[in-house]
Amino acid sequence: MPDPREFQIETLEAGRSRLSYRPIESFQKSQEWITNYPQDLIRLILEIRGPASAIDEIRREEDPHYVRACLEKDILGYVDPVMLKGRRWLDFGCGGGASTMILARMFPDSPIIGLDLSDRSLEIAQARCIHYRYRNVEFRRSPSPDRLPEDIGTFDAILLSAVLEHLLPDERRTLLPGLWGLLNPGGVLFIDQTPWRCFPFEGHTTRLPMLNYLPDRMALAYARTFSRRVGSDESWQTLLRRGIRGASVREIRRILRSSVDDIELLTPNRLGLRDRVDLWYAGYAVSISNKYGWARPIQEFLRWAFKAVYWFTGAAIVPSLSLALRKESGNRETDIL
């Protein structure tokens, strides 16, 4: 059990609890959250995630300005929800099921499968599903980091939410075509909250400028020397798994180019959005500003800077990618979405 000086659970009215994390180590950040989760679910998450990450795990699903803010914009900014009604979903790399629970609320008539490699994460996901009594959700375990279950079926929509950056290069080259093969004609692959590999600031793992432009060996030395988030003996393989190398549209297209189907990169044109800069600001930037209040004026400045670049060059320069790729069959009459 965690040190009670660090993590406390206070029972409130109406079945709610106030969670408080006050780390003994001064360099860690204090956290607080009022949750509707029952205490057995709170303690399960605390046991599996640990005191430093438990509150964040709960907020990912409950806080409307966290993952939900991204998913609603990153999905519905591309596709009319009417077109997604009743469609079969795969939440690949679902982790503790935060994104899966949000999908279940967004699309209550759709069968949704959450897939992950970690038994312990799936334990949290299943407990969340039982808590909400969702009947349209099922969880499955991946057989290995580079394989998909053979009997999982096909899907109309596949989501990778903050997942692609954590796949190793060989896994990306194997899993992306495999996932693409599971899409029905006209289906859409959604990739959201993945750092853009070409952005000048690597904010996901190291929080260092210009690292994205360095070759692997130099990037490792730079991260070990100057990032407070990276240990001096940390390996490049570990940093890759943590997400140090984001992704790019070019990389994704290159991996999928062997497909016999055409790939249509959709443009966000709903909910008042006109381009990927609007999409980034409405979703990911809102999520970051909610978590770190000091970032709000910076995000606003970046929004107009990115817009200016887009107006003059047509290039969407944003820190993170939120993409929707439609699988074309060559016959739009047979496409599902």
The reply to whether 270 falls in a domain is yes
**Residues 122, 51 share a domain:** no
- For residues 19 and 78, membership in a common domain is answered with no
CB 212 within 8 A of CB 198: yes
The residue among 236, 261, 295 that closes a domain is 236
- Amino acid present at 310: Y
Distance of alpha carbon 260 from alpha carbon 21, whole angstroms:
51
- Show the domain range for 225: 202-236
Instruction: Please check whether residues 107 and 160 belong to one and the same domain.
Output: yes
Domain assignment present for 173:
yes
Residue 336 lies in a domain: no
Confidence of residue 69 (pLDDT cuts 50, 70, 90): very high
Q: Read off the pLDDT band of 295 (50, 70, 90).
A: confident
pLDDT average, residue stretch 60-89: 96
Residue 108: band (very low, low, confident or very high) from pLDDT cuts 50, 70, 90: very high
CA distance 21 to 263: 46
C-alpha distances out from residue 259 to 158, 189, 271, Å: 17, 14, 31
Annotate 287-323 with b (16+ C-beta within 10 A) or e (fewer). bbbbeeeeeeeebeebbeebbeebeeeeebbbbbbbb
Residue 1 covered by a domain: no
**Same domain, yes or no, for 114 and 154?**
yes
The verdict on 55 and 172 lying in the same domain is no
Assigned domain for 184 exists: yes
pLDDT above 90 (res 291): no
**Of the candidate ranges 46-60, 164-178, 249-263, the one whose mean pLDDT is the lowest:** 249-263
Helix (H) or strand (E) holding 85: none
pLDDT at site 258: 59
Residue 39 pLDDT: 95
**Nearest to 320, CA basis, from 199, 208, 161:** 199
Q: Say what angle helices 98-106 and 119-132 make with each other, to 10 degrees.
A: 30
| 3-state secondary structure at position 103 | helix
Torsions phi, psi for 291 (to 5 deg): -80, -35
pLDDT tens sequence across 236-269: 999 999 999 999 999 999 999 855 568 899 999 9
Average pLDDT over residues 26-37: 86
| Same domain flag for 259 and 215 | no
Is 216 contained in some domain? yes
- Both 257 and 180 in one domain: the answer is yes
Tokens, residue 29? 């950040």
* Confidence grade of residue 290 (pLDDT, cut at 50, 70, 90): confident
What is the total count of domains within the chain?
3
Residue 230 and residue 265 in one domain: no
Give the domain-ending residue among 210, 236, 262. Answer: 236
Whether residue 170 is found in the same domain as residue 266 = yes
Same domain, 32 and 53: yes
Residues 43 and 98 in one domain: no
Residue 157 sits in the same domain as residue 300: yes
What is the structure's pLDDT at 4?
62
26 confidence band (pLDDT: 50, 70, 90): low
Q: Which of 62, 78, 105 is the last residue of a domain?
A: 62
